[in-house]
Amino acid sequence: MWMNIDQVLDLPNVTVVNYKKIDGIIFLKLNLVNETIECPNCHRILDTINQTEYSLARDLAIIGNPVYLEVPRRQFYCPNCDKYTTERLSFMRLRKHHTTRYEEMIYERVKRSNIKEVCQEEGLGWDEVNSIFEELARRDEKKE
């Protein structure tokens, strides 16, 4: 059975609209399938997009190539609350530049080895890897 890139990527409510490979790095430009969101304040369905900006987010590698997603970050306007709200994505935490599954992979690798080794293998800074590790470690402590 043949699979398209959306199925390989396996992220909810997204489709890949374009891709490019530059110096061994894969960039996938995404489009969000849903046209509305629920206002987090009044729970009204919002369909008025105020603006869309793209941000780069690191994701899991594909066939040994680093992957960056060009993710649309949409801001909706709620006339009921007279407020703007940025859409929350289930596969990324707000104000982060990694998918949650990439952060999980980093966390598990640091637990098995060390921060320095993961930094070298992933091409990330020590502070970035340490921050991911500490945040997910705190989350796991709360679960226990």
- 30-82 pLDDT, tens digit per residue, is 999 999 999 999 999 999 999 999 999 999 999 899 999 999 999 999 999 99
pLDDT band, residue 1 (cuts 50/70/90): low
Report how far residue 41's alpha carbon sits from residue 52's, in angstroms, rounded to the nearest whole number: 21
Rounded mean pLDDT of the chain?
93
Report how far residue 41's alpha carbon sits from residue 62's, in angstroms, rounded to the nearest whole number: 38
Buried b (16+ CB within 10 A) or exposed e, 48-63: eeeeeeeeebbbeeee
**Cα dihedral sign for 113, 25, 18, 53?**
positive
User: Average pLDDT in the 82-101 region?
Assistant: 93
pLDDT at 5: 86
Report how far residue 120's alpha carbon sits from residue 115's, in angstroms, rounded to the nearest whole number: 9
Structure tokens at 134: 């500490």
Q: Which helix (H) or strand (E) holds 115?
A: helix 115-122
Report how far residue 44's alpha carbon sits from residue 35's, in angstroms, rounded to the nearest whole number: 14
